[in-house]
Amino acid sequence: MPHKSFVWLCLLPLVVLTVAFFLLPMARLVVTGAEGPHGLAGYLAILVEPRYRATLINTVLLAAATTVVTLVVATVAGMFLQRHRFPGRAVLIAMLTFPLAFPGVVVGFLIILLAGRQGLIGDLSNRMFGEKLVFAYSIFGLFLGYLYFSIPRVILTIMAAVQKLDIGLEEAARSLGASPWAVQRDVVLPALGPAFVASGAIAFATAMGAFGTAFTLATNIDVLPMLIYTEFTLAANFATSAALSVGLGIIAWAILALARSFSGSTVAAAG
């Protein structure tokens, strides 16, 4: 068998699987989205309908806040861990990265244990101030949950990027008289730019699509994935759920594609 045919044969199983269980369903989803009472206009509902629009804005703001805070936290911790060697460092890194593969539901549960009705924070605040602090089921609890699964991922990317930084650049800046802050501002942070864009996009796209955490916290805050879920299961509003899914997919994909064209590296979300 000629090599060329062998190569095509190698691709065949993947192509069949992808067409049958991804491309075809995705096409179906797009069609379903236009099968509602409003036809193609159903796709505009996400922007036009006040309730959907409010949810979209909620979701975007929450994802953006998660991204910004995660980046700040991960940069401080990641730079520190990559630049210093001290006893216990490996354990600390392990602690910061182990939640990497926790599903959203588990993260939601952990937030309940932290800030729920029987949570640690409520318990402590009760003992100290005589008042039980419970916020797991509010938007702040959701935000905390999103931080929980974003931090490990972003820290890993930032640490890898810091490791690749040429220490010579910093030394050159110092030799030219730059203060430690100026070195950070003018040399280090710009050099980490691509890593910020890449990991920030992942954090944002993941937060946009996160379902498990919101589901477990069962909050009354509407985020887009929860809205899609309720439209589908409770309201049996198939066309709307499909249209909203397509919208959500496009937003998440566009953010990652944009980030990739900026940073050049391959960017992808997971979870």
Partner 1 sequence: MRDRLIFTGQLLFTLLVAAFLVVPAILSISAGVTVNYFRGISSGVTLQWVFQVWELYAGTILLSFVIAFATLAATLVAGVPAAYALHVRAGRLSRIIEEVITLPLAIPGLAIALALLFTYQGFSDFRRSWLFILTGHVIYTMPFMVRSVMAVFATIDIKTLDEGAASLGAPPWRRFRDVIVPNAVPGILAGSLMVVTLSLGEFNLTWMLHTPLTKTLPIGLADSYASMRLEVASAYTLIFFVMIIPLLVAMQMFADQEQKR
Asked if 244 and 224 count as a contact pair (C-beta separation under 8 A), the reply is yes
Q: In whole angstroms, give the CA distance from residue 115 to residue 131.
A: 13
Q: In whole angstroms, give the CA distance from residue 243 to residue 34.
A: 7
Helix spans in 34-166 (H)? 45-48, 50-83, 89-97, 104-115, 120-129, 139-164
- Which region among 36-44, 46-54, 167-175, 262-270 touches partner 1 (by CB under 8 A)? 262-270
- Which region among 13-21, 49-57, 126-134, 185-193 touches partner 1 (by CB under 8 A)? 13-21
Is there binding between residue 130 and partner 1 (CB under 8 A)?
A: no
Work out which of 48, 57, 230, 253 binds partner 1, going by CB under 8 A. Answer: 253
In the region spanning residues 14 to 73, those forming contacts with partner 1, defined by CB under 8 A, are 14-15, 17-18, 21-26, 28-29, 32, 73
Shortest separation between residue 225's beta carbon and partner 1, angstroms: 5
Asked if 36 and 239 count as a contact pair (C-beta separation under 8 A), the reply is yes
Is there binding between residue 263 and partner 1 (CB under 8 A)?
A: no
Work out which of 139, 232, 237, 262 binds partner 1, going by CB under 8 A. Answer: 232
Is there binding between residue 128 and partner 1 (CB under 8 A)?
A: no
Is there binding between residue 269 and partner 1 (CB under 8 A)?
A: yes
- Which region among 2-10, 36-44, 165-173, 190-198 touches partner 1 (by CB under 8 A)? 2-10
Assign residue 123 a region (left: φ > 0; alpha: ψ between -120 and 50; beta: otherwise): alpha
Work out which of 68, 113, 172, 258 binds partner 1, going by CB under 8 A. Answer: 113
Work out which of 11, 47, 54, 172 binds partner 1, going by CB under 8 A. Answer: 11
- Which region among 46-54, 166-174, 188-196, 205-213 touches partner 1 (by CB under 8 A)? 205-213
- Which region among 40-48, 96-104, 126-134, 186-194 touches partner 1 (by CB under 8 A)? 96-104
Shortest separation between residue 46's beta carbon and partner 1, angstroms: 13
DSSP 65-90: HHHHHHHHHHHHHHHHHHH---TTHH
Asked if 177 and 109 count as a contact pair (C-beta separation under 8 A), the reply is no
Is there binding between residue 8 and partner 1 (CB under 8 A)?
A: yes
Is there binding between residue 192 and partner 1 (CB under 8 A)?
A: no
Work out which of 43, 52, 102, 146 binds partner 1, going by CB under 8 A. Answer: 102
Degrees to nearest 5, angle at CA 195 with 82 and 197:
145
Is there binding between residue 134 and partner 1 (CB under 8 A)?
A: no
Nearest to 246 by CA among 209, 211, 271: 209
DSSP single-letter state for residue 116: S
Paired tokens of 35: 């099968």
